[in-house]
Amino acid sequence: MCGIVGYVGSNEATDFLLEGLRRLEYRGYDSSGVVTIDEGELQITKTAGRVEELSKALKRSPAKGSTGVGHTRWATHGPATNENSHPHLGGDRILALVHNGVIENFREIKQRLVQHGCVFASDTDSEVIAHLLAIELEKKTEDTLNEIDPYAPLVAAVQNTLVQLSGTFGLAIVFRDWPETIVAARLGSPLVIGVGEGEHFIASDGSPLAGHTDKIVYLADHEIAIVTADAIRVVHRDQGDVGHDVKLLEIDSTEVELNEYPHYMLKEIFEQPEAIRNALRGRLDKDEATAVFGGLNLSAQQLQKVKRFVLTACGTSWHASLVGEYMIEALARIPVEVEYASELRYRNPPLDTSTLLFALTQSGETIDTLAALREMKRKGHPTMAICNVVGSTIAREADGGIYLHAGPEVGVASTKAFTAQCVVMSLLALYFGRLHHLSYEDGLRIIADLEALPEKVERALETSNHVRQIASKYANCNNFLYLGRQYNFPAALEGALKLKEISYIHAEGYPAAEMKHGPIALVDEKTPSVFIVPRGAVYQKVIANLEEIKARGGPVIAVVDEGDHQVADLADDIIEVPKVADFLQPIVASIPLQFLAYYIALERGCDVDKPRNLAKSVTVE
C-alpha cells in the first residue's frame, strides 16, 4: 500500500521522484522520502507527513544525482516518523532501498541480524531487508570479483536475500558502488518499469509514468530487474535471464491531473457519465440483443454450462458484487454467491466444476482478491477478472476478464469504478440471460435502458448543489443510517462506506426492513436515516419503513425518483434522481450519496482525497 518510484538517466532524479510521489500519494501518505547518489555517496531526505513536507525539505537541502528512488508510506510496522520513513540504509551506507509489502518473518531475521552486530534505526519490517542485503552483498562481492558479469554480485546478493523473506515485497534498491543502477524486485506487490530514451523509470503503477513515456514493462512475481539508463535486464528466480515485453501505457497525463477540480474525488464523480459510456462501448449487440465481450476466453458453449457464480472482492468492489448478484439472479436466473476475498482465500467452500469465479477490483493489485483468485485457480476453477487497470497482476493472472475502461481513479474513495463495475455486472447479467431464458425483446429493452444510462447519470449529477445544502444541515451529526431494499441495499452499504471513509462519521447500511430488527434502537433526532426509495417492486414497503423512523423522531433524507410527491410529504429532505429500470437504480442513486459524503467531509474540514488511515491500493493483508 506504499508507493515506489525510481529514476536512472541523465536528468536530476528528484524532479521525477517528487512528481511521481505526488501521483502515488493515494497509495500512502504517512511519510515519504528519496535517496539519490551524488559523488559516490547516498543522499537521503525523508520526512513524516505528506509529500509536500518532503518537497519543502528538498528545497532547503537539494539532493543531486541522476539515479534515485523514492517512497510514500502507508504505515504497517511502526508509527509515521522520520525514522520509520523510507528509504532504509544497509551496511556502512553501501545501499538504500524502499519497500512495499509486509515481511512476515522480520522479527526472526531482525533478532539474527542484531546478534550479527547490525544496529537498527527504525521499527519497520523493511529495514531488515537492507541489513540482510548488505551482508549478502559483501559476501558476494568477495566471491565474484573475477566474474565477467559486473552485475553478478548484485543479482546473487538480491536472490540470496529474497529467499530468506516470507511475505510480500516490491523493492527498489540503489547501491553506492553501482551508482548508475537500480535493482527492482517483486513478489505480490506491483512494480512497473517505464522505458524512455536514455532513461528508465520505476513505479508501483503506471500513473507516475504518464507524460514521461508511453512504454512500460510489467515485472512479474519472482523477477529481479537490473535497470540502467540504457538497458533493462530481467532475471527470474527459477529460470535465470528472461525476456521482457514492452507494452503500451494506456494513461494520458491529463487523466491524472486535477484540472479545474479542487479534489480528485469530485473530478471522478463528474467523470462517471463518460466512464459508463466507455464501459458500454462496443459491448452491446442489438442484432442478437445481447452483450459482447472480447476477453472471457471461453466459448458460448462453455459459458452456457456455468451453473453458479462466485463473485469475490473487497470494499467498494464487494458492494458492486452484491449489485451483480441481484442483477445476475434476476436476469440470468443463475445462483450467485458473493464472498469477501479475505475470507474466501482461507476457506475451502464446496465448488463444483460448473462454478465460475469473477474477481472484482479497481486496481487489479488488491492482495486479498489476488490470493483468492490464485486459490480458486489452484483448485482448477476458471477465473475471470473485472478490473480497471490494464496489465495489472489480477488482469494478467486471470483466465479471462473484462476491463472497466473507467480511466485512472486517484481519489481513495472509489466512485466511478463502482458505477463502472455495476455496469459491467449488468452486461454480464444480460449476456448470461440471453444464453438461457431471456427473450430477444427483453434483451433489446435492457440494451435501451443501458444506452440511456449515461444521460440519466448526467442528470443525477445536477443534484450537486442541492446535496451540498443538505450536507451542511447534517454535517455535525456523528451517526447515520443508510437504508434500501433489493437492488438498493448494496447502494445503501456503499453510501455508508463513502461517508465513513472520508468524513470519519459512523454510518451503517442495512436492508430497510431489517432496520426494525435492532438498528432502530439507534434512531434519535441526531441520527439521520438516508433512504434510497425509488419507485419499484418494494416501493410501498420502504415507505412503511421510512414512517417507522419518522414515528421515532429520526430525520430522514430520501433519494427518490423525479416527481415523487408521496415521499416528499414524509421526508425532511429529498433528493430527486431520474427514473431508471430497477436493475440500474443503484448506479443512479449512488451519485447523490457520493456528493453527500463529499460535501459533509468538506464541511467537517476533512482531507477528501487522502482520508486518515486509508490507502487506495491495498497490497498488504
C-alpha to C-alpha distance for 9 and 312, rounded to whole angstroms: 42
Widest distance between CA atoms in the chain: 86
C-alpha to C-alpha distance for 525 and 540, rounded to whole angstroms: 24
The amino acid at residue 354 is S
Dihedral angle sign, alpha carbons of residues 392, 104, 1, 422: positive
In sequence order, the 6+-apart residues with CB closer than 8 A to the CB of 191 are: 4, 170, 171, 172, 184, 185, 202, 203, 204, 219, 225
DSSP letter for each residue of 165-224: --B-EEEEEEETTEEEEEEEEEEBS--EEEE-SS-EEEESSSGGGTTT-SEEEEPPTTEE
Beta bridge partners of 556: 529
C-alpha to C-alpha distance for 11 and 22, rounded to whole angstroms: 19
C-alpha to C-alpha distance for 2 and 486, rounded to whole angstroms: 37
C-alpha to C-alpha distance for 616 and 67, rounded to whole angstroms: 28
Cell of 434: 440471453
Note the Cα 3 to chain centre separation in Å: 12
C-alpha to C-alpha distance for 222 and 477, rounded to whole angstroms: 49
Cell of 115: 546478534
In sequence order, the 6+-apart residues with CB closer than 8 A to the CB of 498 are: 413, 415, 593, 594, 596, 597, 598
Radius of gyration of the chain (CA): 26
* Contact between residue 189 and residue 392 where contact means Cβ atoms under 8 Å apart: no
Write out the H or E segment, with its range, that includes residue 481.
strand 479-484
Q: Which of 46, 110, 498, 616 is catalytic?
A: 616
Q: Are strands 355-361 and 284-285 parallel, antiparallel or unpaired?
A: unpaired
DSSP letter for each residue of 421-462: HHHHHHHHHHHHHHHTT--HHHHHHHHHHHHHHHHHHHHHHT
Q: Is 616 a catalytic residue?
A: yes
Closest CA to 247 of 191, 171, 193, 200: 193
Question: Annotated catalytic sites, by residue?
Answer: 2, 616
